[in-house]
Structure 1
Amino acid sequence: MAERSLMLVLHDVAPETWPDYRPFVEAVDALGQIPISWLVVPNFHRRNRLDDHVEFRRLLDGRLARGDELILHGCYHADEAPEPRTPRDWFMRRVFTHEGEFYPLSREESARRLRHGIELFERNQWPLYGFVAPAWLLGSGAREALAATGLTYTSDPGHFYLLPDYQAIDAPGLVWSARSAWRRGMSRLLSERMLHRYQRSPVLRLGLHPVDMRHPFSRQYWLDLLIRLLADGREPVTKIDWLDRHVLTSSAAA
């Protein structure tokens, strides 16, 4: 079977969500050298300024030293724009999610928030290649602003997009809705179906959220699934390492 890779991705990384993730990360570390991609929010809901949390920044320094990747994940991870005016916008911003921060923003405001996050990474000397919008939602203004940053990629649940042209690369991902017992049950069924469908996919992403970690059912599923996929021969990699190996190098050669 051709080489198959695996990415373990933690969303909504912030000082207040670290207690949710910590037992899981410790369990993953106990399995061996498994790189993790951390989606870092500069100021989660405006109450988690990373600049105010020295110990948490040192923790992220240590993760980089282990071979993990830090990825910019929004700025505030909160949709603070004026109320939606169209049925589509109402669905996207009030039904699908309340945290699609970069969906309603203008190009100028998107650029300001992106620069805020990029400067945070620069101050901490954290290498930065990717940006993932909260809830994976990018409005037209945000797409234009992101394309001008010089970053390498963004992503949604099914693809990577190489910047600045948004060239799509298939990269299926599993993600749960874990807010209630019935959602967790349905998420497990859907995940197992997707695993069968993408068994031979060159890459598979596991997208975890803090709420997954608050319920033993979902937390244990993710850990057991990671162990299953490793035993099945998938190689754990970060996002940028996989792109460097399988996409960017070949594109440069062409």
Structure 2
Amino acid sequence: MRRLLVSIHDVGPGFEAEIDILIDRVARFVSPQHLAMLVVPNHWGRHPIIAGSPFADRVRSWSDMGISMFVHGWFHSDSCMHKGSLAAFKARHMTAGEGEFLGLETETAAALMRAGQDLIEDITGRPVAGFVAPAWLYGKGAKAALVASGFALAEDHMKVWSPRSGRAIVRGPVITWASRSRSRIASSLVVARLLPHILHFAPVIRVAVHPGDVRVPALLTSIDNVLRRLCAMRTPMGYKELLNDHVVAHSHPDLPAQL
């Protein structure tokens, strides 16, 4: 059986209106128990999620509906001076200063992971589903911190894996959209049309949406089209089901064994 994973990124009080729009659109295709939210505890240091606040109550209600909650960094902003040229290139060109965990030392990364986990679990009363670094970017320190973190799941742009065992559970690029510039909008629309064809035989396809998507009507139309098409051929599932579903343990046949 072919499956579908859907997530809403950058959940926080600064994007509350956009998150509501995304939930309403995604709910046309995916039920809450098959949806994941990636929660940012204090987006760019400007929008903290405070226990007992109205937004924290909303996070709790979403969790009560069955939505899986991931820790999605802490600030979602990158304040590091990157040493390597590759890391500097990623920080500059692959993310608008949002690769928070790309240059962190292990101890700092671990502390932020724990703080995010504690906050979200205190609010929801449930274990988080896992950790996803902002912009899907992990440096050496973040990867080392993940191994000792105890998180059940982690994700980057090309795979979902178990930090506990290091085993890749799902392989293949995530279908997502970019809204920062006209060129990125155009390229992401093309990729979103192509990837469902390319990944047709993949056991699992991932779709991720972001608050910025709601500001571009063409992106919303593309999201609707992709979800409509995929849901006609696949069964939505929750991320937590990956831990006990042997069907998804197989890699996409056209992808390399190591990504």
Fold match (TM-score > 0.5): yes
In structure 2, distance between residues paired with 1:156 and 1:30: 26
AA aligned opposite 1:20: E
Poorly superposed stretches of 4+, deviation over 6 Å: none
Partner of 1:101: 100
Q: 1:12 aligns with which of 7, 10, 13?
A: 10
Partner of 1:41: 40
SS at match of 2:120: helix
Q: How does 1:84-99 map to 2 (within 5 A)?
A: 84-97=82-95, 98-99=97-98
Deviation, 1:206, is 0.5
Count of residue pairs the alignment pairs up = 246
In structure 1, distance between residues paired with 2:12 and 2:88: 27
Asked whether the equivalents of residues 24 and 223 of structure 1 are also in contact (C-alpha less than 8 Å), the reply is no
Partner of 1:140: 140
Report percent identity of matched pairs: 31
Deviation, 1:87, is 2.4
In structure 2, distance between residues paired with 1:89 and 1:181: 25
Per-residue CA shift, 1:87-146, capped at 9, x if unaligned? 223212222221111111111111111111121123221321310001111111111111
In structure 2, distance between residues paired with 1:74 and 1:209: 15
SS at match of 1:122: helix
Asked whether the equivalents of residues 132 and 154 of structure 2 are also in contact (C-alpha less than 8 Å), the reply is yes
In structure 1, distance between residues paired with 2:90 and 2:25: 35
What residue ranges of structure 1 are gaps of 5+ in the alignment? 250-254
Asked whether the equivalents of residues 15 and 53 of structure 1 are also in contact (C-alpha less than 8 Å), the reply is no
SS at match of 2:103: coil
Deviation, 1:37, is 0.6
Asked whether the equivalents of residues 173 and 206 of structure 1 are also in contact (C-alpha less than 8 Å), the reply is yes
AA aligned opposite 1:148: A
Give me the TM-score of the superposition, normalised by structure 2. Answer: 0.87
In structure 1, distance between residues paired with 2:77 and 2:36: 21
Partner of 2:62: 63
AA aligned opposite 1:222: I
What residue ranges of structure 2 are gaps of 5+ in the alignment? 250-259
Give me the TM-score of the superposition, normalised by structure 1. Answer: 0.89
Per-residue CA shift, 1:46-72, capped at 9, x if unaligned? 111111672222222222222210000
Distance 1:160 1:178, change over 3 A: same
Partner of 1:50: 49
In structure 1, distance between residues paired with 2:155 and 2:29: 27
